[in-house]
Amino acid sequence: MIYQVYVRSFLDSTGDGIGDLAGVRAGLPYLKKLGVDGIWLSPFYPSPQHDHGYDVADYCDVDPLFGDLDEFDRLVGAARRLGIKVLLDIVPNHCSSEHPWFREALAAPAGSPARARFHFADGRGPDGAEPPNNWHAMFGGPAWSRVTEPDGTPGQWYLHMFTPEQPDWNWREPEVAAEFDRVLRFWLDRGVDGFRIDVAAGLYKHPELPDSDDPEADARTRDSVNPLAWNQPEVHDVWRRWRSICEEYTERDGLDRLLVGEVSVPTAREHARYVRPDELHQAFFFDLLSASWDADAFRKVISEAMQDIAGTGSTVTWVLNNHDQVRTVTRYGEPATEGSGLGAARARAAALLMLALPGAAYIYQGEELGLPEVVDLPDDVLTDPIFRRTGSRARIRDGCRVPLPWSGQASPFGFTPGTESAKPWLPQPEYFAEYATDRALADTRSFWHLYRDGLQLRSQLPQLGEGTLRWLDAPPGVLAFERGDDLVCAVNFGTAPTPAPVSGTPLLASGPCPPGVLSGSTAAWWIRS
Ligand code: GLC
């Protein structure tokens, strides 16, 4: 189980209102207590922060906002002493427009080797004033921006599948691949255990960059669906190459390395291709995250994953929350019924379901506290580029990125040292007091205890280790499956109680469950006697 640390919102050690690497180090004992195997750190590299660090200006350093390389080394050392693995977020599809190679490309003429590292092309129309093709960027607007040539005339266009500040690398240029080999080695030499790979179905584009039949599909669905821009066959060679670099390190020191991809592709079968034995070890299977709170929907995505991914001998990597998505408590609470607690009950049940599935599980900071999405942030504090680029229509990713509450009754809730005058980079609502980690730890009914207990059992019970699952008969609206010979997990998606599939008291339940009953919006684990 890997815990995603969104560094700028985890814990601030300096008082500037932005979380940092020293803050992560200070939080490690908390994570150890929770029972995580490893952490994934969101990007902390030098960056102008147009997309909170997913616009990297230097892949081999630390932005002063977050610390420096010495602090990074201290963090890795402290994590190692606690037995916590460290994964970095690597961003190979695009860099920042401030990256020295992109600046060099801007200063170089059309057709130069410096431009070949990116996708520069002449525009269409009589004076080249139209973009080279009709693709739209994921975050809205055209996927091309026009540059002014060094002599001051309007010039070529460059491709950016996200914001204009994130030019896409041209992976057909061997220098780009070689540079990323160097980046991997730089961090592996510093002791990291692996990488979460951003946009891992990206990198290569169709070689001719032709027009798309549905150019706005990515922006419309907020998913990488343009078949010409994503999931090109050549990308698999990159993962083979990165896997062999990891294996080289493992051969040297006997320690495992892990590559986990952010892979968004149309089907589970396509997804399975990314986790073939010589490619990525893991790839997030987002269909569970996208499924609505419905027994049939959950059963369908779990069955497809078990058949198409686990069926090929790979691991399925489950995830319910991350820094790009509305948090489960709020998502499952729709339509919102004030004070019903339905979203929270369902999110607790989903957590037990996920932890019972065969495969890897990732949780996103705050998930273990049951944090809801902060839905009422004022427009002037929103920083997600999607908000800006959709003409202030899509308020999507700030509400799950609000800094964590650690203690106390008022913001900054121990997130940042000092007093109320210290302002977290996004404002924390008053009700965060209820979710602070000190309260969660003290209350055995909290989300935190559910996650901690679930993780403890997951590491102790061989039934919850490798292997598969067997569906059991269950009434409509209930999912039940068995792991190993005797561990049963059941989830009641409805609101009315149903008979439990196993008599006796559950080993662990996400809500009150009298013997023989599976309460509504509840999941439980039993060992059959
Ligand atoms: C991934 C990241 C997201 C980022 C995007 C562009 O989807 O998770 O936060 O904005 O890539 O790098």
The pLDDT confidence band at residue 339, using thresholds 50, 70 and 90, is: low
Report which protein residue has its CA nearest ligand 1's atom 6: 54
Q: What is the reported pLDDT for 201?
A: 98
CB 39 within 8 A of CB 88: no
Q: What is the reported pLDDT for 80?
A: 98
How wide is the angle at C-alpha 3 spanned by C-alphas 52 and 269, nearest 5°?
Answer: 90
pTM of the model: 0.97
Q: What percent of the chain has pLDDT over 70?
A: 98
Average pLDDT over residues 43-64: 98
> At residue 164, does pLDDT exceed 80?
yes
- Rounded to whole angstroms, the Cα distance separating 144 from 219 reads 14
Give the ligand 1 atom nearest the CA of 93.
Answer: 12
- Rounded to whole angstroms, the Cα distance separating 390 from 392 reads 5
Provide CB contacts within 8 A for 237, sequence distance 6+: none
The pLDDT confidence band at residue 421, using thresholds 50, 70 and 90, is: low
- Rounded to whole angstroms, the Cα distance separating 465 from 484 reads 9
The pLDDT confidence band at residue 192, using thresholds 50, 70 and 90, is: very high
Mean pLDDT (the chain, rounded):
95
Average pLDDT over residues 368-382: 93
Average pLDDT over residues 360-380: 95
User: Exposure pattern of 273-289 as b/e (b: 16+ CB <10 Å)?
Assistant: bbbeeebbbbbbbbbbb
Amino acid in the structure at residue 357: L
pLDDT digits (tens, 9 = 90+) for 434-471: 999 999 999 999 999 999 999 999 999 999 999 999 99
> At residue 504, does pLDDT exceed 70?
yes
Q: What is the reported pLDDT for 202?
A: 98
Q: What is the reported pLDDT for 390?
A: 79
Among candidates 241, 278, 284, which has minimal Cα distance to 87? 284
Q: What is the reported pLDDT for 311?
A: 87
> At residue 261, does pLDDT exceed 60?
yes
Report which protein residue has its CA nearest ligand 1's atom 3: 324
CB 68 within 8 A of CB 20: no
Task: Write down the residue that tokens 């041209």 correspond to.
Answer: 170
- Rounded to whole angstroms, the Cα distance separating 319 from 355 reads 10
Q: 385 CA distance to ligand 1 centroid (A)?
A: 11
CB 500 within 8 A of CB 524: yes
Domains and CATH numbers, the chain: 2-95+173-208+220-378 (3.20.20.80), 100-159 (3.90.400.10), 469-527 (2.60.40.1180)
> At residue 488, does pLDDT exceed 80?
yes
Q: What is the reported pLDDT for 258?
A: 98
Any atom of ligand 1 within 6 Å of the Cβ of 162? yes
Average pLDDT over residues 177-194: 98
Average pLDDT over residues 204-225: 93
Beta-bridge mates of residue 290: none
Q: Is 364 helix (H, G, I), strand (E, B) or coil?
A: strand
Q: Which of 73, 248, 270, 334 is catalytic?
A: 248
Report which protein residue has its CA nearest ligand 1's atom 12: 54
Q: What is the reported pLDDT for 529?
A: 86
CB 193 within 8 A of CB 80: no
Amino acid in the structure at residue 287: D
> At residue 338, does pLDDT exceed 60?
no
Any atom of ligand 1 within 6 Å of the Cβ of 63? no
Give the ligand 1 atom nearest the CA of 397.
Answer: 9
Q: Which of 51, 165, 193, 198 is catalytic?
A: 198
- Rounded to whole angstroms, the Cα distance separating 499 from 363 reads 30
Q: How many CB atoms lie within 10 A of CB 268?
A: 20
> At residue 394, does pLDDT exceed 80?
no
The pLDDT confidence band at residue 199, using thresholds 50, 70 and 90, is: very high
Among candidates 385, 383, 382, which has minimal Cα distance to 160? 385
Average pLDDT over residues 111-122: 98
Any atom of ligand 1 within 6 Å of the Cβ of 223? no
Helix axes 21-34, 69-82, angle to 10 degrees: 10
Residue 74 CA: distances (Å) to CA of 22, 25, 79, 84, 471: 8, 8, 9, 13, 46
Q: What is the reported pLDDT for 405?
A: 98
> At residue 335, does pLDDT exceed 80?
no
> At residue 63, does pLDDT exceed 80?
yes
- Rounded to whole angstroms, the Cα distance separating 350 from 493 reads 10
The pLDDT confidence band at residue 420, using thresholds 50, 70 and 90, is: low
CB 245 within 8 A of CB 184: yes
Among candidates 60, 61, 75, which has minimal Cα distance to 20? 75
> At residue 185, does pLDDT exceed 80?
yes
Q: How many CB atoms lie within 10 A of CB 128?
A: 16
Stated as kind and residue range, the H or E segment containing 437 is helix 437-442
Q: What is the reported pLDDT for 62?
A: 98
Q: What is the reported pLDDT for 276?
A: 96
Q: 77 CA distance to ligand 1 centroid (A)?
A: 28
Average pLDDT over residues 37-52: 98
The pLDDT confidence band at residue 67, using thresholds 50, 70 and 90, is: very high
Q: What is the reported pLDDT for 273?
A: 97
In angstroms, how far is the first alpha carbon of the chain from the final one?
28
Beta-bridge mates of residue 266: none
> At residue 386, does pLDDT exceed 90?
no
Q: Categorise residue 36: left if φ over 0, alpha if ψ from -120 to 50, beta otherwise.
A: beta
248 catalytic per annotation = yes
Any atom of ligand 1 within 6 Å of the Cβ of 198? yes
Q: Is 317 helix (H, G, I), strand (E, B) or coil?
A: strand
pLDDT digits (tens, 9 = 90+) for 216-260: 999 888 889 999 999 999 999 999 999 999 999 999 999 999 999
The pLDDT confidence band at residue 200, using thresholds 50, 70 and 90, is: very high
The pair phi, psi for residue 284, each rounded to 5°, is: -60, 130
Report which protein residue has its CA nearest ligand 1's atom 7: 199
pLDDT digits (tens, 9 = 90+) for 265-284: 999 999 999 999 999 999 99
